[in-house]
Structure 1
Amino acid sequence: MKRNEFIKISGLAGISLAIFPQFSFNNFSEEFTRNQLIGKGNPDIVGDSYTSKMHKTAKEAFLKMKAAAAKENINIEVVSAYRSFQRQKEIFEGKYKKFTSEGLSPDKAIQKIKEYSTIPGTSRHHWGTDIDIIDANAPRPSNVLMPENFHGTGPFCKLKTWLNENATKFDFYEVYTDNGIRKGFKYEPWHFSYAPVSIPMLKAYKEKIDVKKMLSEEKILGNEHFSEAFVSKYVKENILDINPKLLS
């Protein structure tokens, strides 16, 4: 290819990405397996702990974002990253046992759990693209993942302001936004997703995973209460009612 032709094509590509920033997201070429999508193994996950394991390209972007924040004396700490199916199952079933032992009916226990926690096999954390983050340089409250910690006089306000201004420069987007008309999970100002990988993974999830069938096959505690109507609503509100910038 002649140099002037290359420059012309490169310039057009750059303009396309500037006008349509999600163009590159939807061209992520990897094929995703069922196990990858539901948290049962992913060869692209790197790291050695639940706070360091991420999809390899998400981790590269995160480290760049962390370095940029450090220049503003913000120490981004990951408190949760990749979460396997088994780990999510332990979380869900632990809460289910706790709430039902306290007197809640199974249906009400499940409703309470899904205010903030996903049903195993449906968590975005299964993909290694999503992280829960705080500022390690700020005073640490006993419960770090509370919305009030990121607003008003909360310890992570500086981090939240910085993320509002800079996270998208590294392709990270808040998932469960503070939107009065959004349903599903409650507002999570700490939860960010690496869009170039999570967008195609969500697309693959919608195409490949029959959620009702998967939940039945995996024998999750309480799954007999996952009716067709419940699952349909859960998919619509909890899986798909997210920041529109993270939808394909």
Structure 2
Amino acid sequence: MSQKIDIDILQGKTTNHLVGDSILLEKETFKAFEKMKREAFNDGIRIKIVSGHRDFERQTLIWNSKFLKFTEEYKLKPEEAINEIVRFSTVPGTSRHHWGTEIDIIDEEFKNEKNPLITEKYEAGGVFNKLKRWMDLNSKKFGFYLTYTNDEQRKGFEYEPWHYSYKPISKNFLEEFKKNNISKLILDLDIMGKEYLTKEFIEKYINENILSVNKELEL
């Protein structure tokens, strides 16, 4: 049975459970990452986190800026803009990055790489392929699993070869989050384009974006 988790933790509205300096992580996640980082370093891989915990305000800023960009710069209809946003970004308050259990990683050897979080850079010939191959072989023994896999059966967010989740904690967090009225949490938000978040959209978003993750994270 999962332990009850405060909704403020799940929605990125508190940092009481986090540790770290510039990048914050949930305490157990931090310990596990440090172990994995040390072993990777011994194998010639310098894992660098470029995104860990992301708070509610930051996610709201990301959402609003993307909504403005897609509607004003790219002239998309609001509904189209929202569908484009949720290919890679979450509705504020529903991001797994709020929990402190998620990490986006690169190889620090190439820390000055522009726009690092691009799928091709983790594939054969890409600057982060060495990192990806090491993670494929080793990440699970430290509790880290790809969150959004390259699985055609998985719906929702696009494949993210840089995004890993610390399963021993994130599994419980997701179970607790599912116990909330997520539709109401979304409808209560004050974000751009809120009026276009229809009942149908929210239902689809919950099922395909929030719940459709790497199946190994659910076991």
Give the TM-score, by structure 1 length. 0.85
One-letter amino acid of the counterpart of residue 146, structure 2: E
Alignment map for 1:226-245 (pairs within 5 Å): 226-245=197-216
Alignment map for 1:1-248 (pairs within 5 Å): 29=3, 31-49=4-22, 52-102=23-73, 103-138=75-110, 140-208=112-180, 210-247=181-218
Name the SS of the counterpart of 2:109 in structure 1: coil
One-letter amino acid of the counterpart of residue 162, structure 1: W
One-letter amino acid of the counterpart of residue 167, structure 1: S
Report the Cα offset of residue 62 of structure 1: 0.2
Aligned residues: 218
1:150-203 deviation per Cα after TM superposition (whole angstroms, max 9, x unaligned): 001000111000000000010000000011121100000000000011000000
Report the Cα offset of residue 218 of structure 1: 2.1
In 2, the alpha carbon distance for the partners of 1:78 and 1:238 equals 23
Name the SS of the counterpart of 1:99 in structure 2: helix
One-letter amino acid of the counterpart of residue 46, structure 2: N
8 Å Cα contact 1:93/1:221 also seen in 2: yes
One-letter amino acid of the counterpart of residue 135, structure 1: D
1:10-42 deviation per Cα after TM superposition (whole angstroms, max 9, x unaligned): xxxxxxxxxxxxxxxx66x4x311111111114
One-letter amino acid of the counterpart of residue 118, structure 1: T
In 2, the alpha carbon distance for the partners of 1:48 and 1:91 equals 22
Greater C-alpha Rg: 1
One-letter amino acid of the counterpart of residue 153, structure 1: G
In 2, the alpha carbon distance for the partners of 1:46 and 1:223 equals 33
Q: Which runs of 4+ in 1 moved over 6 A?
A: none
Name the SS of the counterpart of 2:104 in structure 1: strand
Q: Percent identity?
A: 43
Report the Cα offset of residue 70 of structure 1: 0.1
Report the Cα offset of residue 55 of structure 1: 0.2
Name the SS of the counterpart of 1:41 in structure 2: coil
Give the TM-score, by structure 2 length. 0.96
* Superposed CA RMSD: 1.3
Name the SS of the counterpart of 1:178 in structure 2: coil
In 1, the alpha carbon distance for the partners of 2:171 and 2:111 equals 34
In 2, the alpha carbon distance for the partners of 1:200 and 1:132 equals 20
Report the Cα offset of residue 117 of structure 1: 0.7
Report the Cα offset of residue 48 of structure 1: 2.9
Report the Cα offset of residue 138 of structure 1: 3.5
Report the Cα offset of residue 139 of structure 1: 6.8
